[in-house]
Amino acid sequence: MSKQVIKTNNAPSPIGPYNQAIKANGFIFASGQVAFVPATGQLELSSIEAETHQVMKNVQAVLTEAGVSFEHVIKTTIFLSDMALFSQVNEVYGTYFKADFPARETVAVKGLPRGVNVEISVTAVAEL
């Protein structure tokens, strides 16, 4: 099995001992993304919708670097600071997929890095 590290400057650099994504055995395992704006290093927290869009843009940048798109995503995990945010996050999240939505779970957690409200990780296939 070969393992390839995926890294792009178009998504936030990891804030710990992990990589943005790993490609192995035809799969891409992308680490959770939060709403850091790569160009500024600042968090986009002006609204839950803006935060979610930034998270999805960061996920998209990692997928693009791996040579795939949201169409290749087969599984997502959404972490929320509060389930009351579910509908707003879900609405924004849904705009990034055309059809054949991936499998998903959404969980509320006690806390997320840097006090953000949403984190999303994905698993994708390298080829359709």
* pLDDT tens, residue by residue, 86-120: 999 999 999 999 989 999 999 999 999 999 999 99
Q: What is the pLDDT at residue 110?
A: 96
Name the class of domain 3-125.
alpha beta
Find tokens 């940048």 and name the residue. Answer: 61
Which residue in 43, 22, 25 sits closest to 34, CA to CA?
43
This prediction's pTM? 0.96
Task: List Cα–Cα distances, 113 to 3, 4, 28, 65, in angstroms.
Answer: 27, 26, 23, 24
For 62, phi then psi, to 5°, come to -65, -45
> Cβ(1)–Cβ(21) under 8 Å?
no
What ranges do the domains of the chain cover? 3-125
Tokens describing residue 63: 């997928």
Residues with pLDDT less than 70, the chain: none
Q: What is the pLDDT at residue 106?
A: 98
> Cβ(69)–Cβ(63) under 8 Å?
yes
Q: What is the pLDDT at residue 72?
A: 98
E strands of 7-72, at which residues? 21-24, 27-33
